[in-house]
Chain A
């Protein structure tokens, strides 16, 4: 599946400055794994361990937080958009 990943400004220096990029993956885990293999430094920031994502980063698949879907195992289809967004304060 070819999907688009949106990169927040804070991570763009580790992704050759790109705000978004295309890659392949059948699940969110696979897509992020692919991102990590292309940009290891960026990938390192997304995960706390192999199984646990950084709790200060939210992942949205087509505007829905993946924790309301199947988290990392959420299936992807062609054209999906996965956004990486830092958690920010509220009010």
Chain B
């Protein structure tokens, strides 16, 4: 028995059956899946979850599917890293990294939402899936569609990073580059959804797609030993993942799976695209859309549809926001790589850079447990890091040449310190 009841508008409470649906017809607010938590109370236990395979479907009772999972059977269950070297560098006591740069199959948090959306597309009987994307979603939709034998139509801004384009095209979708920024792509997709009978995962499958993001939070809690971090720092683009991590924590609390430690949510954006952080800082009710200009292309959404829910989740939890300049973003990418051996894309650099600012400003106390959400992989955007290095040395294949190089380098740069535990 599935405790999946219906869809309900988050703004006006109007109810709809479980069906493909972009927004509420009454008020245009987003609709959300309603679960029967009462029925799950004693059934959805730690033991049951722990007995299941290590992928995001171990939380299936809290995902909006009726039958068996049909996509992403290996997605999720990414590493939660106790980041000791980075913690020492930042002067904080307990720091974790939830590392979706290692997500399967396309190395970003989007494999979570797409696993659910593609399963749902198959349940609804669609033969074509698609999306509007800043890159990672297109990559993920194309891969999941290929594996499920569905047609894919993905729409991206015309000037996206090459790694994301090639990484997506290899799966054989129809990829269309749209002149303009992501917000232009998004507007077009809303109109495409009105015209073609396709499952556009972030449009008419949005109520289902967004729920997949909760699994990032479920995993953090389970991997911490059924405990919540006190502070979670999350990147914000369209505004899906931050409120959904907050929701995942509240669901676990409600079902008695973790203790309520009053988890605090913090928003991270690039300074060149920070409508939500700006509204938080200015304590405004409405955010103002922006024209993005940032190296963090995957989170360059100037008019975030779920922005109000990000503001609500941050405010209700007592959190805050911070934004990072391009140079700070790339520095943070380098810092994460050098301290923890993780190569993230600029979205991850943004999140770490914002976390550092929140720690420095005292918004995040140094002695409280912190989780930084790393949502994407740096190998997709190598061009942005290229200019941060000097040229690598080239030498002849002779030991003398090598010795000369090592000796002169040793004088210039002291050896790296290992962490002591």
Q: Interface residues, chain A, CB within 8 Å of chain B?
A: 6, 8-10, 45, 54-58, 60, 63, 65, 67-68, 83, 85-91
Contacts and interface: CB of A to CB of B under 8 A. Distances in A.
Contact of B190 (A67, A68, A88): A88
A33 to B, nearest CB: 19
B303 A56 contact: no
Contacts of A6: 191
B384 interface: no
A83 B191 CA distance: 10
Interface string B217-258: 000000000000000000001111000000000000000000
Contact of A45 (B28, B206, B288): B28
Contacts of B131: 91
Contact of B183 (A8, A56, A65, A91): A65
B94 to A, nearest CB: 31
24 contacts: A8-B190, A10-B25, A45-B26, A56-B11, A56-B29, A63-B180, A83-B191, A85-B187, A86-B22, A86-B28, A86-B190, A88-B189, A88-B190, A88-B193, A88-B202, A88-B203, A89-B239, A89-B306, A90-B240, A90-B305, A91-B131, A91-B132, A91-B136, A91-B238
A26 B286 CA distance: 27
Contact of A8 (B30, B194, B201, B209): B194
A10 B22 contact: yes
B182 interface: yes
Interface in B310-335: none
Using C-beta atoms within 8 Å of the partner chain, give the interface range for chain B.
35 or more
A65 B303 contact: yes
B194 A9 contact: yes
A2 B82 CA distance: 63
Given A89-B206, A90-B186, A56 B27 contact: yes
Given A56-B23, A88-B203, A88-B305, 17 more contacts: A55-B308, A56-B27, A57-B28, A65-B289, A67-B289, A86-B190, A87-B303, A88-B186, A88-B202, A88-B206, A89-B206, A90-B182, A90-B301, A91-B110, A91-B134, A91-B238, A91-B240
Contacts of A55: 286, 308
B294 interface: no
A55 B312 CA distance: 15
A86 B182 contact: no
Contacts of B29: 56
Interface of B: 11, 22-23, 25-30, 110, 113, 131-134, 136-137, 180, 182-184, 186-187, 189-191, 193-194, 201-203, 206, 209-210, 237-240, 286, 288-289, 291, 301, 303-306, 308
B23 A10 contact: yes
Nearest to A91: B137
Contact of B202 (A56, A57, A58, A91): A91
Nearest to A46: B28
A90 B202 CA distance: 6
B322 to A, nearest CB: 20
A5 to B, nearest CB: 14
A88 B291 CA distance: 17
Contacts of B11: 56
A68 to B, nearest CB: 7
B99 to A, nearest CB: 19
A45 B187 CA distance: 19
Nearest to A13: B25
B26 to A, nearest CB: 7
A65 B187 CA distance: 10
B28 A89 contact: no
A87 B25 CA distance: 13
A59 to B, nearest CB: 11
A58 B305 CA distance: 10
A56 to B, nearest CB: 4
A87 B240 CA distance: 13
Contacts of A90: 132, 134, 182, 186, 202, 237-240, 301, 304-306
B191 to A, nearest CB: 7
Contacts of A57: 28
Contacts of A58: 187, 303
Contacts of B30: 56, 89
